[in-house]
Amino acid sequence: MSTKAPIRVAITGAAGQIGYSLIFRIAAGDVFGPDQPVALNLIEIEPAMGALSGVVMELNDCAFPLVSEIVPTSDMNVGFKDANWCLLVGSVPRKAGMERKDLLGINGKIFVGQGEAIAKNAAKDVRVLVVGNPCNTNAYICKHAAKGVPADRFFAMTRLDENRAKAQLAEKAGVHSSKVTNLAIWGNHSATQYPDFYNAKIDGKPALEVIGDEAWLKDTFIPTVQQRGAAIIKARGLSSAASAANGAIDTVRSLVTPTKPGDWFSVAVCSDGSYNTPKDLMISYPIRTNDGKTWEIVQGVPVNDYSRAKIDASCKELQEEANDVAELLK
């Protein structure tokens, strides 16, 4: 057993599908490394506590060497206590006939409560990744509610979109996905997201040059990435879970590990107005970290007229979502 102090990770929606992949991989050391113990605070709503007890039994049955403690709870004050990382996965799914505004309102209340509980209970160095949809706006609400926690500690997940985009480009180019770099997702984790193929590289060369088919990139690649979640639901009868958990794992790992020189990764962060985007919203950009602690929006990435229009459309949608939840932020 490692002598390092454990990192405490709070996970909401712990008995859900994504939780079922995510928790076991964190416990196995996939995020913080094979020498870093983790304490797991598993948060669920009361009706799912029975299911969560089954997850805890299975976790125990894995006898993971790195797991120092497991705290299953439906009390947010217990769940976020001393958490260094909060992975907010649980949220209420959209049901038939539900307007976006209704969904935003229902989830918004949850993320106000969670933001307040994080501010009150979490560790001083807490960082928060929101996965539960609509993740950008849920993170925006949480950030506002978590008074006293710096805005640069909040993130919303667009890494699954980045990974999906890399896989599509790799397949088209006939190379391994690891050869695709500099793939930024801009904007919202929604159908308006912009997977930026103009700046992506394949084996160090511009993706456009390697693929040589701009029409395919605009008319097939972008919609395929934007609609990938729906394609998985159609094929599997369930939404993406293992790949979503993997996206969350990649996001945290990228934020705690120095980024390779020249490369970047995608995650939504609190906008400082970079690239003429609205300040304060949670917008996905090309991000890098030099020390695994602080991060920066990569500056100077070329944005042509096509990219500009796509980024603006996605930010407009985020602004509308923010307007829909303005009441909750008072």
Instruction: Please give the positions annotated as active site.
Output: 189
Part of the chain binding ligand NAX (CB under 6 A), chosen from 24-32, 37-45, 197-205, 277-285 = 37-45
Site for ligand NAX in 179-238 (CB under 6 A): 189, 229
241 binds ligand NAX (CB under 6 A): yes
In the complex, the smallest distance separating the C-beta of residue 186 from ligand NAX, rounded to whole angstroms, is 15
Q: Are 86 and 122 in contact (CB under 8 A)?
A: yes
Type of residue found at 9: V
Token reading at 109: 């209340």
Which one of residues 23, 48, 282, 287 is an interface residue with ligand NAX (CB under 6 A)? 48
In the complex, the smallest distance separating the C-beta of residue 240 from ligand NAX, rounded to whole angstroms, is 5
Which are the contacts of 216, defined by CB distance < 8 A and separation ≥ 6?
Answer: 172
Which one of residues 2, 68, 224, 239 is an interface residue with ligand NAX (CB under 6 A)? 239
Closest CB to ligand NAX among residues 27, 110: 110
Start-to-end C-alpha separation, the chain:
47
Angle, helix 242-256 to helix 17-28, in steps of 10 degrees: 40
Indicate if the alpha-carbon torsion angle 275, 281, 286, 290 is positive or negative.
positive
3-class secondary structure, 113:
helix
User: How far lies 248's CA from each of 66, 131, 281, in Å?
Assistant: 19, 7, 20
- HEC profile of 283-326: EEEEEECCCCCCCEECCCCCCCHHHHHHHHHHHHHHHHHHHHCH
The residue count for binding ligand NAX (CB under 6 A) is 30
Site for ligand NAX in 116-145 (CB under 6 A): 131-133, 135
In the complex, the smallest distance separating the C-beta of residue 37 from ligand NAX, rounded to whole angstroms, is 24
In the complex, the smallest distance separating the C-beta of residue 136 from ligand NAX, rounded to whole angstroms, is 9
In angstroms, the CA 64 to CA 27 distance is 6
Residue 243: name the closest of 21, 23, 88, 32 by CA: 21
Owner of token pair 């007890």: 53
Closest CB to ligand NAX among residues 44, 312: 44
3-state helix, strand, coil in the chain (%, to 5): 45, 20, 35
16 binds ligand NAX (CB under 6 A): yes
Site string for ligand NAX, 148-167 (x = CB under 6 A): ---------x--x-------
Closest CB to ligand NAX among residues 45, 328: 45
Closest CB to ligand NAX among residues 121, 240: 240
55 binds ligand NAX (CB under 6 A): no
In angstroms, the CA 123 to CA 127 distance is 9
Closest CB to ligand NAX among residues 72, 229: 229
Residues of this chain that interact with ligand NAX (CB under 6 A) are 12-13, 15-19, 43-45, 48, 89-93, 110, 131-133, 135, 157, 160, 189, 229, 239-241, 244, 247
